[in-house]
Amino acid sequence: MKALAVHPGRPHSAHLAEIREPRVSDVPGGRGVLVRTLQVGVDATDAEINEALYGRAPEGDDYLVLGHEVFGRVEEVGPEVKNVQPGDYCTCTVRRPGPTLFDQIGRNDITSHDVYYERGINLRHGFMTERFVDDAEFIVKVPVGLKHLGVLAEPASVCAKAIEQAELAQQRLQIWEPKLAFVTGAGQIGLLTSLMLRLRGLEVYTLARTPEPGLREEILNGYGAHYISTRQTPMEELVKRVGRPDLIVEATGNSAVAFECMQHLNLNGALVWTSVTGGSRQLSGFPSDKVNLEWVLGNKLLLGSVNANRKHFARGLSDLSLGEVMFPGVTSKILTTPIDGYEQPELIMRELTENKSALKVYVNVSAE
């Protein structure tokens, strides 16, 4: 069976690998679920792994199968599987348990171990194959009526978790009712986060550099959010116009923007970083004394949110469903760039890195 893989640590090594067919019995205890892959989304993480910025192969292999955003259909289940059955549409969580207590209670998304295991990213093979098998614990059912957005399940889970983590952490205040939110970045995470915050009743400003955003602005307007080009209106000017945001979700992948957000958060506010920045950029001219003073006196909160567990996948799917009711047809516009098959790795990476108009690049692996 073919798979799209890289040799971690070797830049631009995306290639087709030959791997064995998976079997339900690969998962012990009768909990195996065999899934036929329908679609796999690709994003900046895949590009950065291909650039050798991070990513490690599973022990004993010199290659890593890519793909962590999967949508598929169940073909076979083990005798102990109850949550899905053959014919169900599904997605799959990404992070796998390590040795800590958090991992053992199903919170592998917040493991306290230095080593983490993520399918298609680190030490576990991904989903860019014709079929894959996994434990039923990590399989999440996708409603039939949402199958047209199934490939967005994983990024939606990331957004749902980021918002949830802010809400949970802000219980420290006893009362926190955010009204104004900034989302930095207008890629898939920024757009889906904007949707979810609008569903929660916040006024949302989504910031990105492009002065003529076209489809991005159309999608945000469809959600009732506002697109702001920071080339035309820097964040500092926007704050003067609309006030300081109670919540900022940072999703640019740019560490300079992540730190800039710290200068504009409202009193008692929360800033969530979702960016994973591979590289060695360093900041100069950052007003650290001023920020330190304002953050302490203003009771401000900074938290990082990475990956998600099955609860967040379920919440993300729920938000996608509500979004279809509240803003029919808008979210589908994110799915801009389908690629038929993964037999041309160079094409996939080129669309991912060079196509500036692409919001969501995804691979149609097989037909239903």
Q: Residues 6 or more apart from 195 whose CB is under 8 A from it?
A: 159, 223, 319, 323, 327, 330, 331
Query: Looking at residue 306, what is its pLDDT?
Result: 85
pLDDT in tens, 245-281: 999 999 998 999 999 999 999 999 999 999 877 667 7
pLDDT in tens, 296-329: 999 999 999 988 999 999 999 999 999 999 999 9
| 52-78 mean pLDDT | 97
Query: Looking at residue 13, what is its pLDDT?
Result: 97
Q: Looking at per-residue confidence, does 6 or 356 come out higher?
A: 6
pLDDT band at 110 (very low <50, low <70, confident <90, very high): confident
What's the CA gap between 100 and 114, in Å, rounded?
10
Check: CB of residue 128 under 8 Å from CB of residue 65: yes
Identify the bridge partners of residue 129 per DSSP, sorted by sequence position.
Answer: 3
pLDDT in tens, 116-171: 999 999 999 999 999 999 999 999 999 999 999 999 999 999 999 999 999 999 99
The pTM (predicted TM-score) of the whole model is 0.94
Using the predicted structure, report yes or no on whether residue 105 has a pLDDT greater than 70: yes
Query: Looking at residue 282, what is its pLDDT?
Result: 86
pLDDT band at 192 (very low <50, low <70, confident <90, very high): very high
Query: Looking at residue 276, what is its pLDDT?
Result: 78
Query: Looking at residue 259, what is its pLDDT?
Result: 94
Query: Looking at residue 278, what is its pLDDT?
Result: 67
Please give the biggest Cα pair distance in the chain: 61
Query: Looking at residue 280, what is its pLDDT?
Result: 76
Query: Looking at residue 281, what is its pLDDT?
Result: 79
Q: In what order do the strands lie in the sheet with 64-65?
A: 15-18, 2-6, 64-65
Question: Among residues of the chain, what percentage have pLDDT more than 90?
Answer: 92
